Amino acid sequence: MENLDQIYMWIVNNGVRFLGAIVFLIVGLWLSGFFVKQFVKIMTKREIDPGLVSFAKSLINIALKVLVVVSVMGMVGIEMTSFIAILGAAGLAVGLAFQGTLSNFAGGVMILIFKPYKVGEFIEAQGYMGVVAEIQIFNTVLKTVDNKMVIIPNSGLATGSLINYTRQDTRRVDWTFGVAYGTDYKMVKEIILDILKADKRILEDPALFIGLGEMADSSINITTRAWVKTEDYWDVKFDVNEKIYATFNDKKIEITFPQMDVHIKKD
């Protein structure tokens, strides 16, 4: 009976504590999620940089959950002094083991400070191209043109080279049109010039450039350059290609392909 009484008293004394800890854990995790959602709403209403919002959301979410778990451990009687000492020693080992993860965190901070790209911009980096969907604590999420989600560690993005196609208001479109030897170059140049001038999306400043770029093995290559607004780049490039091809066919201008002439001499 004495043992049963001791067990009963332990349950009475500690059961409430454990029950309270469980309730605190559930409520704490719910409140942390609620706080993060409200934080995101406030930041969004104030038109804060979406990349900073995404980064801060991940950081605050992790910090609050860790705080809740540590508080629960204290409620159930775990000595926090010893725990902190153990945690510090373990933290050193974990830090060495997760050097890459920490460098990704540092990379995320550098990206938010120096802003080589922002959410919504189109970039090329680490062998991938896409629109920046999120800048998280450790990774950046890209959405490719064929609707794939690519997750790239922040460390490589912060220290490596990347191309930001969106940052500038204008871009230069480059074409190379190859025509057969013997074709009237001036006539072809006038045709290209007329097609480009008729397209209102092509900017007048900087001026168009058309020049004989190369006398290649199978063709003379005409280099053409025009400036457009960044959002018009691909539409202009494809439209001009179609118009040039159709016009060259109508004018019977030969568009060459790689070929070799073989001359046979008879003795």
Over residues 197-223, the pLDDT tens digits come to: 999 999 999 999 999 999 988 899 999
Structure tokens at 46: 């104030």
pLDDT of residue 5: 61
Residue with tokens 């629109």: 131
CB 191 within 8 A of CB 147: no
pLDDT at 185 over 60: yes
Angle between helices 185-198 and 233-250 (to 10 degrees): 140
Please give the backbone phi and psi of residue 34, each rounded to the nearest 5 degrees, phi first.
-65, -45
What band does 22 get if pLDDT is binned at 50, 70 and 90?
confident
Where is average pLDDT lowest: 10-19, 25-34, 134-143, 163-172?
10-19
* Mean of all residue pLDDT scores within the chain: 84
pLDDT tens string 216-229: 888 999 999 999 99
Classify strands 139-143 and 128-135 as parallel, antiparallel or unpaired. Answer: antiparallel
What CA–CA distance (Å, rounded) separates 43 from 58?
Answer: 14
What CA–CA distance (Å, rounded) separates 123 from 126?
Answer: 10
What band does 11 get if pLDDT is binned at 50, 70 and 90?
low
Question: Could you tell me which residue, 139 or 109, shows the higher pLDDT?
Answer: 139
Closest CA to 189 of 220, 158, 162, 215: 220
pTM of the model: 0.63
Please tell me which of 41-55, 74-88, 168-182 the model is most confident about, judged by mean pLDDT: 168-182
The one-letter amino acid code at 104 reads: N
The fraction of the chain above a pLDDT of 90, given in percent, is 49
Report all structural domains of the chain as residue ranges with CATH numbers, in order of start: 12-97 (1.10.287.1260), 107-164 (2.30.30.60), 170-250 (3.30.70.100)
Please give the backbone phi and psi of residue 224, each rounded to the nearest 5 degrees, phi first.
-130, 135
Structure tokens at 143: 């959405």
pLDDT at 2 over 60: no
Where is average pLDDT lowest: 68-72, 105-109, 163-167?
68-72
pLDDT at 76 over 70: no
Residue with tokens 């020693």: 89
Average of pLDDT values for 102-106?
84
